[in-house]
Amino acid sequence: MKNNNRCHFAIIAILILTALLSFSCSTTAIKTESFKTWDIHTEAQAQFLASAEYTKPYQFGAKGEVEISRPVSPVFTWKYTGVNTEDIESSLLLISENADLADAKQYEVSAGDTSFTVADGGMNLKTSTRYFWQVRATMKDGTVYESPVSSFTTTGGIRNLGVDGVINFRDLGGYRTVDGGVVKQGLLYRSGRFNEKFEKTLMITETGLQQIRDLGIRTDIDLRGDKSSDLQDVVYANGYLTDGSETMASPLGNDVNYVFIPVIWDTSLLVSPSCATMMQKIFEVLSNEENYPVVFHCSIGTDRTGLAAFLIGCALGLSDEDLTKDYLFSNFAEIGSPRLLANFSTSIRTLKDYEGATYAQKGLDYLLKNGVTQNQIDKVRSILLTY
């Protein structure tokens, strides 16, 4: 009996030792170089967001002339110990908001490489968010090695994104409201157009379309309207002239709900009935939770889009500073010409006629007096805000 017990203990000890050796092999063969924080913003973007001089974006190189609105993705680095990199069949970088890497986004890494990043900020990380990551390598003999799980936290600020072929793409989430709420990220986006003006030709690339799919976009609100050569108002579905005979669909795919709200821009849009109609229809979409995530855009994502984003931000209760920064950040995109504080002030100048001491209060008063209901505003706030 004693001998049998000894045999059992010996077998158990061998199994434990084998498990420990396997665990050690899988966790120490790849050692990551950890970092604690990451700022998704370029140096110029970060300086703009942090400076008291944010009302002068040109001081930070943001003049609306070149596309410098995209974020910066982290550079992940690691090293192999006791592994012949020539025997690696494939490698993956996994990144997730969950410590167990549930629903992790997987990026293929060239076999043997010891660093990885996503160009043009296309990893599209959220701000003020903790992420967990791991490297896995599969050897040609089938052995799988895993690094320990590392983590880092992104800093705050505007969540700008990189969508290949598209300018001026960013999240309206991440802001703090004046009453202590936080706008949820990943639900409401603003951007430039996805196809060439007056053409069906796509500007967004296959990579960009995959990035859109990764964001889970369900609804595309298109605010583009224009005038014909004889200056008559015309309707451009998807940015090109249509006689109404074709089915309107989003350039982002047939599975994306396309909402066409054509608006012609002018600096007095806020006093025009078309602005009231635009906001009524936008809030109809935003008050239905099934429509999210939503992206809304015009041509360059600056004027009509900027005004709509401003009024949505007013309904959510953003500060004057954040509302102004969000408008001026478009100067980091290739929008043709700068949009300075004077442009912003001009586009919202008639808000002085509405009640309130802040932009948010005046903007909310505008919405309620121009067809947006309190129920719709309450619903949108319940969807987009957390406390």
pLDDT tens for residues 215-230?
A: 999 999 999 887 655 5
- Whether the predicted model's global pTM rises above the 0.75 cut: yes
Tally of residues, the chain: 387
Q: How confident is the model at residue 27 (pLDDT cuts 50, 70, 90)?
A: very low
d(CA 374, CA 379): 8
Task: Please write the tens of the pLDDT for every residue from 159-197.
Answer: 999 999 999 999 999 999 999 999 999 999 999 999 887
Q: What is the pLDDT, as a whole number, of residue 158?
A: 98
Q: What is the pLDDT, as a whole number, of residue 313?
A: 98
Inform me whether the pLDDT recorded for 358 exceeds 90.
Answer: yes
Question: Do residues 29 and 145 make contact, with C-beta atoms less than 8 angstroms apart?
Answer: yes
Token reading at 345: 């002030």
Average pLDDT (352-380) is: 98
Identify the DSSP state of 387. -
Token reading at 37: 């924080």
Strand boundaries in 81-232, DSSP class E: 88-96, 105-109, 115-116, 130-139, 144-146, 150-154, 159-160, 170-171, 182-183, 188-191, 219-224, 226-227
Which residues contact residue 3 at a Cβ distance below 8 angstroms, ignoring those fewer than 6 apart? Answer: none
Q: What is the pLDDT, as a whole number, of residue 219?
A: 98
- 265 closest CA partner among 280, 275, 255: 275
Average pLDDT (278-301) is: 97
Q: What is the pLDDT, as a whole number, of residue 18?
A: 45
Identify the DSSP state of 134. E
Q: What is the pLDDT, as a whole number, of residue 225?
A: 81
For β-strands 219-224 and 294-297, DSSP reports them as parallel
For β-strands 105-109 and 76-80, DSSP reports them as unpaired
Q: What is the pLDDT, as a whole number, of residue 340?
A: 95
Q: What CA–CA distances, in Å, run from 173 to 33, 158, 292?
A: 30, 8, 13
Q: What is the pLDDT, as a whole number, of residue 243?
A: 59
Identify the DSSP state of 59. G
Q: What is the pLDDT, as a whole number, of residue 17?
A: 44
Q: What is the pLDDT, as a whole number, of residue 99?
A: 97
Choose between 103 and 236: higher pLDDT: 103
Q: What is the pLDDT, as a whole number, of residue 29?
A: 92
d(CA 287, CA 190): 17
All CATH 2.60.40.10 domain ranges in the chain, comma separated: 29-154
Q: Going edge to edge, which strands form the sheet with 188-191?
A: 159-160, 170-171, 188-191, 294-297, 219-224, 257-263
Inform me whether the pLDDT recorded for 213 exceeds 90.
Answer: yes
Topology of the domain covering 159-386:
Protein-Tyrosine Phosphatase; Chain A (3.90.190)
Q: How confident is the model at residue 327 (pLDDT cuts 50, 70, 90)?
A: very high
pLDDT mean across residues, the chain = 90
Best CATH choice for the domain 29-154 from the list 3.20.20.80, 3.40.630.10, 2.60.40.10, 3.30.70.360: 2.60.40.10
All CATH 3.90.190.10 domain ranges in the chain, comma separated: 159-386
Q: What is the pLDDT, as a whole number, of residue 262?
A: 87
Average pLDDT (198-216) is: 92
Q: What is the pLDDT, as a whole number, of residue 23?
A: 41
Q: What is the pLDDT, as a whole number, of residue 323?
A: 98
Q: What is the pLDDT, as a whole number, of residue 210?
A: 96
Inform me whether the pLDDT recorded for 132 exceeds 50.
Answer: yes
Which residues contact residue 256 at a Cβ distance below 8 angstroms, ignoring those fewer than 6 apart? Answer: 217, 218, 219, 220, 250
Inform me whether the pLDDT recorded for 288 exceeds 70.
Answer: yes
Task: Please write the tens of the pLDDT for every residue from 60-106.
Answer: 999 999 999 999 999 999 999 999 999 999 999 999 999 999 999 99
Q: Which of 7-16, 40-49, 181-190, 345-354 has the lowest mean pLDDT?
A: 7-16
- Which residue type is seen at 139? M
Q: What is the pLDDT, as a whole number, of residue 226?
A: 74
